[in-house]
C-alpha cells in the first residue's frame, strides 16, 4: 500500500495499480471508456484525464491520463480541478459528435456507460452544427445486434474479442474517423464468448438480440443472484425477469469463479425457461396406454401417495442438473440404498473417482480464476473449449501471463495492454494438450497431441513415471516419440510454479483421471505444488457424487427387473438422453409406477404415470456444487405460475402425505441445508453458503426490483384493478418488491449492479474491494472440498495396454459441443440455431478407406445398436477412431467410449 | 366597527361583478391549452404509431400506472405490444408527457371520464391511440434517429451523412 493524494486528501492505494484503478477503488468517480479491468489500459479515449502536481507547492500541474500512470507513493493528483474537468467535458463532446439520436430505441439505454459518463462530465448540448457520420450495420448471428452509428471508437470490442477471447472474425477496419468495428463479411460471430461484447461495449453497438425480442429496460427487470446451470463451472449470473418471463442473463462477478465473462451457452441458454414445452400442472395417467390428464395438486399428491405407499418398493433416480436439495429430498424419500444417480453406471464410476481424487487430495483443485495463474498446464483428454468454455477462456490468457512476467522485468506494469499484447500475440503459453482431436485451445498451446483415449492415458501415466521414475508405475511399450513427448511435458510441469493438470469426465475414461491423479502425486513427491482441475458434465454433477448414489441407471434397471423394486421416482432427468432408448423403455416397462418431477415435457415425462411440475432454475432457489466443490446458492428470479414448485417441495409434500415425520421439519430451503449438514460431514459447509432466510438488511429483505421498477399498479390491471401484495418468499432473504434498503447486500445476495451515477454494468467497481479483486465481503460460495495437501501418495497402477485393434474395429469416442451437448440450453432458439446435426467424425484416411466422404451416410454399430449418421471429416482425429457427438437432439445414445464399427451405408442407387 | 362595515361594503360590491362559477355541465369549460387531462397516444406525420416503447413514461410515472411491452416489427421498428394506463391510479401529473422522447404520449383537455367500476378505468393501447399527431404536428422521431427501421435508409435522417464506405482507402 502506498499513499497518494487526490484533491488534497491522502488515500491508501495498492501499489502497481494505475491511477484510474486507484481512484475507482477508493470510490471516487472518474469517467473512462477504453480501460477495462480485464483488458488493461491503452489510453485511447482520453477520458480519464486528471491533473498531476509535482509537489504541494505546484499549482499549475499537468494533465495526464490516469489509466496510463502508475500509482506511486506521494503522487498528487486532482480530479475536480476546473481545467481538467473542462478537458474531460470537451473530450466527451468530441466522442458524442456523431452519436445518433437513438437512446429511446437503443437497448443499452438505461444501462449505458456512455450515458453515465456524459452525465458525469456534465456535457448536455450538442453544439456541433455539422452532419453526423453514419455506418452500415452487419448481421452478426442470433445473439448480437450491430448498430455501428453508436460507436465511440474505444476499441474495447476488438481488444476483448480478438485479443482476449482469441477469435479472429471481428476486427477494426478503415482509417481516420471512418474506423469500423465488425466482421470482414456479415455473418455469425464464431467465438463462443461473443455475448460478452454486450457488457464490454460501453454503448449500444453490440446489444443482446434475444433480449431485444422481448425488450425490457434494466430498471424494470426483476433480478436475483443465480448460478449458471449449463455446465459444471458454476459461473455466477444475474437473470432478469419481467411479466413472469425470463428475459435475459447477465454476468455476476465472482472473483474466484467467472470474473467478468460468461460463455454464450450460459448467457443465451436461458430461453428454455419460457419454452412451450414447460409443464405447468400435475398430470396423471390412470392406467398404462391412456393419455395423461390434468389434475389438481391435491389429487396429484393423493395418487403419489398411493403409488409410493409403504407396500411398494420405491427407487429414486436423481439428476446432475437438479439442485442438491432436490436430490437430497429424493434420497430421503427412497432411502440411501435406493437412490440412484440418473446417469449410467460407467459415468457414475468416473464421477465417483473424480470425487475421490479431489477429496483424498492428490492435489488441490484451484478455483476457476486461479487456473489463469498456473505456471504450466497439461490438458489431458478433455476438450475444454466445449465442455468447460470459461476454463478455455482462462487458459487462453496463459501467453499473456507469460508476457506480463517478461515485461515486469523491464518495469512495464501488467495493466499496460499495448506492449504486453504485442508480445503475447506471438507467444505460446506453457500449455500442453493431449486430446482425441483438435480443440479450440491448440493454437495457444506449446504442444498438442491427438490420440485415442488409451493412448492419451498412457501418455499421462508416462509423464508421471518420468517425474517420479522410482515409484510411479511405468508404461510398457512406449515408442521413442512418445517417450520424448512425455519427457517434454514432464520437464515443463516439473519446472513450473503451481503446475495445473486439467482432465475431466468428457471422455468418460477412468484411466485418464487416474493418469491425471498420478501426475499430481508425482509432482507432489518431487516437491512441486500441483493443482488438478476436472471438467464435469453438468451443473450439479459433483454435488450428486458427494451425496452418494447406490448406483447408476443399470443398477436401477436390474433392481426393477429382479423385483427388488417396482416403483420409480425420477426428478429433473430425461433418461432417454442417458441411455439407449431400448434400455430406458425396458426400465419403465418393468416398473409398476413411474413418477416424474420435471419442468419440461420429454420422453421420460411422457412415459410417466404421474408428472409433477418442477420449477426451473429461475423459479427455484437451491444449491449447486460446481466442479471445484464450491457450493453456491441460486435464488428464484420469478414466481412461477400455476402449480409449479421446486422438486424438493413436491417430495416434501409427498412425504408429509405419507406421514413421514422427517419432512415435517422441512419448512424452507435452509432446513434442508441443516439436515444435509447433519447427515453428511462433507456438507458441513452448506449452512454458511449464503445468509439464511432470516437475514435482514436494516430490518428489511433485499429487493429484487430496482427502486425505479415501473408499472406496479398497471401490469395486472387488465385482470384485476386491485393490486395484490408481493408474493411470499420464505426460502430467501430477498423479496419480490422494490422496497428495501438501498445499501449493498452481502456478495452472495447482490441482485444487480447499480450505484448512484453508475447505471451500467460498470457499477461493479463500487462492489469490489479493489478493482478487479474480490467483492466486498467475501466472494460467494463455500468450497466443500479442501483436501489436506499431499494426503494421497499412492499411485494408480492400472496402466492401459496399447491394444492393437482388430480389422474394421473402430474406437468410438464422445465429442462435446458448446452448443448442443447440453440439454437445456439446446432448447433456447438462439442456441438451437447453432447446434450441429448428428454426425460421425472420421479421419480423412479412414473415410477414404471406407469409401466415405463429407456428408455421406455411414452406419455406426456399437454393441448390437446401429444407426445411420452423416460423415464429417475431422483431419485431427487419429486413425481408427470415430467421434460421435454427445447429447445432440435426434442423435442415438451410445455408451461411449466403446469399440464398434463404421461402415458405408448401402444406398439404393 | 369601521372594518366590519368596510367588509360588508366589499361583499355588497361583489354582487355586481361577473360570475366566476361556470354552470358545468350545462355550460362548457374553456380550459387553458396546457391543461393536463386524459392521456392519449398519437401518430406521427406518416400515420404510424409514434410510441417506440422506450419505457421512459412508465419509469417517470410516480404512481407506476403505465405498463407496456416493447415489440419489433419485421423492419426492427419498435412499438408497444401492449400499452396500459390504469387511470384509476393516474394523478395526471404529466411526467410521462415530459419524459416522452417522441411526443407520442400527450395529455389532453378531456377530464370527463369517471366510471362506476374501477376496472373500466384501465385503458389499453386501442383506447389510447388517436388518429393524428396531437399537439406536435411535425415531429417524426425516426426521421431524426440514427436507426434505419423501414422509415428511411441508413444515413438518410436529418443531419446525417451518407454511410461510410468502409472499404475506401481515400483519406
Distance CA A392, CA A165 (A): 9
Cell numbers placing A433: 494438450
d(CA A248, nearest CA chain B) in Å: 15
pLDDT at B123 over 70: yes
Given strand A782-783, what is the order of strands in its sheet?
A622-625, A630-634, A782-783
Task: Using a CB–CB cutoff of 8 Å, tell me whether A101 touches chain B.
Answer: yes
Taking CB atoms and an 8 Å cutoff, what residues of chain A touch B163? 134-136
* pLDDT number for residue A896: 83
**Using CA atoms, how far apart are residues A608 and A444, in angstroms rounded to an integer?**
48
Chain A residue whose CA is closest to B167: A174
Position A333 pLDDT exceeds 80: yes
| pLDDT confidence of residue A908 | 53
In A791-864 the beta strands, taken as DSSP E runs, fall at 810-815, 839-842, 857-862
Give chain A's mean pLDDT.
91
Query: Please, is A41 exposed, middle or buried when counting C-beta atoms within 10 Å of its C-beta (0-12, 13-18, 19+)?
Result: buried
Burial of B56 (0-12, 13-18, 19+ CB in 10 A): buried
Work out the burial of residue A909: count CB atoms within 10 Å of its CB; fewer than 13 is exposed, 13-18 middle, 19 or more buried. exposed
Measured CA to CA, the distance from residue A437 to residue A457 in angstroms comes to: 14
Q: Mutate which of A711, A716, A720, A759 to test chain B, going by most B C-beta atoms within 10 A?
A: A711
Note whether A109 contacts B: Cβ–Cβ < 8 A.
yes
| Region A130-157 average pLDDT | 93
The partner residue sitting opposite A714, judged by closest CB among B53, B84, B157, is B84
- Taking residue A711's Cβ as centre, other Cβ atoms within 10 Å add up to 23
Alpha helix stretches (DSSP H) within A837-883: 844-849
Question: Residue range A509-521: average pLDDT?
Answer: 92
Q: Do A714 and B162 touch (CB under 8 A)?
A: no
CB-side neighbour CA atoms (13 Å) of A413: 18
Searching chain A, which residue's CA lies closest to the CA of residue B119?
Answer: A721
Q: In chain B, what residues touch A213 (CB-CB under 8 Å)?
A: 72
The overall average pLDDT reported for chain B is: 91
Of chain A residues 178-217, which have a CB less than 8 A from chain B? 178, 180, 182, 212-217
Nearest chain A alpha carbon to B61: A710
Residue A870 has phi, psi (to 5 degrees) of -85, 150
Q: What is residue A248's predicted lDDT score, i.e. its pLDDT?
A: 94
| Residue A867 confidence (pLDDT) | 87
Q: Is the pLDDT of residue A791 over 90?
A: no
Burial of A26 (0-12, 13-18, 19+ CB in 10 A): middle
Summarize pLDDT for A567-590 with one digit per residue, the tens. Answer: 999 999 999 998 888 888 888 888
- Tell how many helices (H) and how many strands (E) occur in chain A: 25, 37
Q: Which three cell numbers stand for residue B44?
A: 406521427
What CATH topology corresponds to A363-529?
A: Dimethylsulfoxide Reductase; domain 2 (3.40.228)
**What is the interface size between A and B, counted as CB pairs within 8 Å?**
146
- At residue A104, the pLDDT reads 93
Are the Cβ atoms of B171 and A176 closer than 8 angstroms? yes
Question: B146 and A150: CB-CB below 8 Å?
Answer: yes
Cα–Cα distance measured from residue B157 to residue A788, given in angstroms and rounded to the nearest whole number:
67
Find the residue in A nearest to B149 (Cα).
Answer: A105
* Contact list, A114 vs chain B (CB under 8 Å): none
CB pair distance less than 8 Å for B118 and A711: no
Q: Which CATH architecture has domain A2-95?
A: Roll (3.10)
For A191, phi then psi, to 5°, come to -70, 150
Give pLDDT, residue A315.
Answer: 92
Among B52, B166, B169, the residue to mutate for chain A (most A Cβ within 10 A): B166
A35-80 tens-digit pLDDT: 999 999 999 899 999 999 998 888 899 999 999 999 999 899 999 9
pLDDT of residue B152: 86
A722 vs B: CB within 8 A: yes
How sure is the predictor about A786, in pLDDT bands with cuts at 50, 70 and 90? Answer: confident
* pLDDT beyond 90 at A892: no
Place of cell 361577473: B18
Half-sphere exposure of A169 (CA within 13 A, CB side): 14
Q: Which domains does chain B have, with CATH numbers?
A: 32-135 (3.30.70.3270)
Cell numbers at A18, concatenated = 494505475
Does B163 contact A at CB distance below 8 Å? yes
Q: Which of residues 75-114 of B touch A (CB under 8 A)?
A: 78, 84-86, 88-89, 101-102
Distances (CA, A) of A165 to A127, A891, B34: 39, 30, 56
Residue A575 sits at φ, ψ, to 5 deg, of: -65, -20
Portion 39-58 of B in contact with A at CB < 8 A:
52-56, 58
Cβ–Cβ gap B59/A212 under 8 Å: no
Distance CA(A636)–CA(A222), nearest Å, equals: 10
Is the model's pLDDT at A792 over the cut of 70?
no
Domain residue extents for chain A = 2-95, 363-529, 810-904
How would residue B98 be classed by pLDDT, with cut points 50, 70 and 90? Answer: very high
% of chain A residues with pLDDT over 70: 99
**Residue A790 pLDDT level (bands cut at 50, 70, 90):** low
Confidence band for A907, pLDDT divided at 50, 70 and 90: low
Beta-bridged to residue A623, according to DSSP, are A633
Over residues A246-286, the pLDDT tens digits come to 999 999 999 999 999 999 999 999 999 999 999 999 999 98
What is the average pLDDT across B111-131?
A: 93
The confidence band for A801, taking pLDDT boundaries of 50, 70 and 90, is confident
Question: Most A CBs within 10 Å: which of B51, B52, B57, B59, as the mutation test of the A interface?
Answer: B59
ipTM of the complex: 0.89
Can you tell me the mean pLDDT for A145-173? 93
Distance CA A472, CA A478 (A): 15
Interface residue A128 vs chain B (CB under 8 A): no
- Residue A689's contacts (CB-CB under 8 Å, 6 or more residues apart) are A623, A631, A632, A633, A673, A748, A781, A782
Query: In sequence order, what DSSP letters do the residues of A334-393 get, joined into one string?
Result: H-GGGEE-SS-HHHHHHHHHHHHHHHHTSSBPPPTGGGGG-S-EEEES--HHHHSHHHHH
**What are residue A876's phi and psi, to 5 degrees?**
-80, -10
- Shortest distance between the Cα of B18 and any Cα of chain A, in A, equals 44
The CATH code of the domain at A810-904 is 2.40.40.20
Residue A768 DSSP one-character state = B
Cβ–Cβ below 8 Å for A711 and B68: yes
Amino acid at each position: 500500500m502506498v499513499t497518494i493524494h487526490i484533491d488534497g486528501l491522502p488515500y491508501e492505494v495498492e501499489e502497481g495499480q494505475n491511477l484510474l484503478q486507484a481512484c475507482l477503488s477508493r470510490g471516487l468517480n472518474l469517467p473512462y471508456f477504453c480501460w477495462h479491468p480485464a483488458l488493461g489500459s491503452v489510453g485511447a479515449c482520453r477520458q480519464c484525464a486528471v491533473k498531476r502536481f509535482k509537489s504541494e507547492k505546484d499549482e499549475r500541474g499537468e494533465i495526464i491520463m490516469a489509466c496510463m500512470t502508475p500509482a506511486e507513493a506521494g503522487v498528487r493528483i486532482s480530479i475536480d480541478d476546473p481545467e481538467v474537468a473542462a478537458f474531460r467535458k470537451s473530450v466527451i463532446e468530441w466522442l458524442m459528435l456523431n452519436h445518433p439520436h437513438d437512446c429511446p430505441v437503443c437497448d443499452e439505454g438505461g444501462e449505458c456507460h456512455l450515458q453515465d459518463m456524459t452525465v458525469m462530465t456534465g456535457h448536455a448540448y450538442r453544439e456541433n452544427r455539422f452532419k453526423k457520420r453514419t455506418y452500415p450495420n452487419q448481421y452478426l448471428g442470433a445473439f448480437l445486434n450491430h448498430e455501428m452509428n453508436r460507436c465511440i471508437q474505444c476499441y474495447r470490442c476488438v481488444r476483448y474479442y480478438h485479443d482476449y477471447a482469441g477469435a479472429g472474425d471481428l476486427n477494426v477496419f478503415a482509417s481516420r474517423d471512418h474506423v469500423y468495428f465488425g466482421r470482414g463479411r456479415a455473418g455469425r460471430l464464431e467465438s463462443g464468448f461473443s455475448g460478452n461484447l454486450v457488457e464490454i461495449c460501453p454503448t449500444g453497438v453490440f446489444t443482446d438480440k434475444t433480449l431485444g425480442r422481448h425488450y425490457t429496460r434494466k430498471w424494470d427487470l426483476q433480478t436475483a443472484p443465480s448460478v449458471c446451470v449449463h455446465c459444471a463451472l458454476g459461473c455466477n449470473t444475474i437473470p432478469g425477469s419481467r411479466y413472469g418471463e425470463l428475459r435475459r442473463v447477465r454476468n455476476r462477478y465472482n472473483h474466484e469463479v467467472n470474473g467478468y465473462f460468461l460463455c454464450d451457452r450460459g448467457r443465451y441458454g436461458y430461453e428454455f425457461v419460457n419454452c412451450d414445452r414447460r409443464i405447468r400442472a400435475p398430470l396423471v395417467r390412470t392406467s398404462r396406454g391412456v393419455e395423461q390428464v390434468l389434475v389438481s395438486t391435491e389429487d396429484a399428491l393423493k395418487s403419489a401417495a398411493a403409488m409410493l405407499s409403504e407396500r411398494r418398493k420405491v427407487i429414486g433416480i436423481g439428476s446432475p442438473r437438479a439442485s442438491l436439495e432436490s436430490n437430497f429430498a429424493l434420497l430421503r424419500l427412497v432411502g440411501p440404498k435406493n437412490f440412484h444417480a440418473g446417469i449410467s453406471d460407467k459415468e457414475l464410476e468416473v464421477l465417483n473417482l473424480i470425487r475421490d481424487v479431489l477429496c483424498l487430495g492428490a492435489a488441490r483443485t484451484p478455483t476457476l480464476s486461479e487456473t489463469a495463474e498456473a505456471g504450466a498446464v497439461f490438458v489431458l483428454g478433455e476438450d475444454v473449449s466445449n465442455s468447460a468454455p470459461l476454463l478455455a477462456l482462462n487458459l487462453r490468457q496463459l501467453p499473456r501471463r507469460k508476457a506480463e512476467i517478461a515485461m515486469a522485468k523491464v518495469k512495464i506494469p501488467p495493466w499496460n495492454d499495448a506492449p504486453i499484447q504485442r508480445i503475447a500475440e506471438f507467444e505460446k503459453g506453457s500449455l500442453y494438450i493431449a486430446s482425441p482431436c483438435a480443440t479450440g485451445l491448440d493454437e495457444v498451446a506449446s504442444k498438442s497431441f491427438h490420440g485415442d483415449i488409451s493412448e492419451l492415458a498412457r501418455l499421462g501415466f508416462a509423464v508421471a513415471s518420468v517425474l517420479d521414475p522410482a515409484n510411479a508405475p511405468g508404461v510398457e511399450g512406449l515408442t521413442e516419440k512418445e517417450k520424448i513427448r512425455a519427457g517434454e511435458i514432464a520437464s515443463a510441469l516439473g519446472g513450473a510454479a503451481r503446475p495445473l493438470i486439467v482432465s475431466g469426465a468428457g471422455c468418460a475414461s477412468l484411466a485418464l483421471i487416474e493418469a491425471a491423479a498420478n501426475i499430481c502425486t508425482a509432482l507432489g513427491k518431487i516437491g512441486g505444488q500441483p493443482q488438478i482441475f476436472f471438467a464435469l458434465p453438468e451443473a450439479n454433477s459433483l454435488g450428486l457424487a458427494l451425496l452418494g448414489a447406490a448406483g447408476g441407471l443399470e443398477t436401477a434397471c436390474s433392481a426393477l427387473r429382479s423385483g427388488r423394486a417396482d416403483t420409480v421416482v425420477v426428478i429433473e432427468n430425461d433418461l432417454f438422453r442417458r441411455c439407449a432408448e431400448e434400455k430406458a423403455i425396458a426400465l419403465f416397462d418393468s416398473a409398476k409406477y413411474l413418477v416424474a418431477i420435471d419442468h419440461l415435457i420429454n420422453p421420460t415425462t411422457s412415459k410417466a404415470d404421474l408428472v409433477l411440475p418442477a420449477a426451473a432454475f429461475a423459479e427455484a432457489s437451491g444449491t449447486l456444487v460446481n466442479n471445484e466443490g464450491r457450493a453456491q446458492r441460486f435464488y428464484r428470479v420469478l414466481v412461477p405460475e400455476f402449480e409449479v414448485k421446486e422438486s424438493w417441495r413436491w417430495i416434501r409434500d409427498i412425504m408429509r402425505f405419507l406421514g413421514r415425520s422427517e419432512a415435517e421439519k422441512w419448512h424452507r430451503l435452509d432446513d434442508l441445508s441443516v439436515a444435509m449438514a447433519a447427515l453428511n460431514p462433507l456438507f458441513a459447509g452448506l449452512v454458511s453458503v449464503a445468509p439464511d432466510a432470516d437475514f435482514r438488511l436494516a430490518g428489511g429483505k433485499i429487493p429484487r426490483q430496482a427502486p425505479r421498477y415501473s408499472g406496479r399498479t398497471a401490469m395486472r390491471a387488465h385482470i384485476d384493478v386491485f393490486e395484490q401484495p408481493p408474493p411470499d418468499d420464505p426460502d430467501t432473504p430477498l423479496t419480490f418488491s422494490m422496497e428495501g434498503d438501498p445499501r449493498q447486500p452481502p456478495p452472495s445476495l447482490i441482485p444487480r449492479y447499480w450505484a448512484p451515477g453508475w447505471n451500467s454494468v460498470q457499477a461493479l467497481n463500487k462492489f469490489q474491494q479493489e478493482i478487479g479483486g474480490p467483492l466486498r465481503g467475501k466472494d460467494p460460495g463455500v468450497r466443500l472440498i479442501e483436501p489436506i495437501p499431499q494426503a494421497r501418495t499412492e499411485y494408480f497402477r492400472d496402466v492401459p495396454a496399447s491394444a492393437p485393434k482388430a480389422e474394421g474395429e473402430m474406437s468410438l469416442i464422445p465429442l462435446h459441443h458448446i452448443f448442443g451437448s447440453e440439454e437445456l440450453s439446446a432448447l433456447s432458439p438462439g442456441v438451437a440455431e447453432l447446434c450441429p446435426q448428428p454426425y460421425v467424425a472420421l479421419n480423412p484416411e479412414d473415410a477414404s478407406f471406407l469409401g466415405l466422404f463429407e456428408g455421406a451416410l455411414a452406419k455406426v454399430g456399437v454393441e448390437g445398436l446401429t444407426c445411420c449418421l452423416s460423415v464429417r471429416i475431422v483431419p485431427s482425429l487419429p486413425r481408427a477412431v470415430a467421434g460421435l457427438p454427445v447429447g445432440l437432439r435426434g442423435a442415438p445414445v451410445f455408451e461411449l467410449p466403446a469399440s464398434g464399427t463404421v461402415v458405408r451405408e448401402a444406398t439404393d442407387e | 366597527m369601521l372594518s366590519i362595515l368596510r367588509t360588508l361594503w366589499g361583499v355588497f360590491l361583489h354582487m355586481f361583478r361577473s360570475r366566476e362559477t361556470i354552470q358545468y355541465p350545462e355550460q362548457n369549460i374553456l380550459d387553458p391549452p396546457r391543461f393536463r387531462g386524459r392521456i392519449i397516444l398519437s401518430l406521427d406525420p406518416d400515420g404510424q404509431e409514434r410510441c417506440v416503447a422506450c419505457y421512459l413514461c412508465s419509469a417517470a410515472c410516480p404512481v407506476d400506472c403505465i405498463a407496456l411491452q416493447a415489440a419489433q416489427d419485421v423492419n426492427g421498428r419498435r412499438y408497444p405490444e401492449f400499452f396500459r394506463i390504469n387511470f384509476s391510479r393516474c394523478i395526471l401529473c404529466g411526467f410521462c408527457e415530459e419524459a416522452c422522447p417522441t411526443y407520442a404520449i400527450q395529455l389532453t383537455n378531456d377530464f370527463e371520464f369517471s366510471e362506476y367500476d374501477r376496472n373500466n378505468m384501465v385503458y389499453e393501447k386501442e383506447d389510447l391511440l388517436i388518429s393524428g399527431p396531437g399537439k406536435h404536428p411535425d415531429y417524426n422521431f425516426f426521421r431524426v434517429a440514427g436507426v434505419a427501421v423501414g422509415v428511411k435508409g441508413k444515413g438518410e435522417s436529418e443531419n446525417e451523412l451518407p454511410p461510410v464506405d468502409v472499404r475506401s482507402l481515400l483519406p
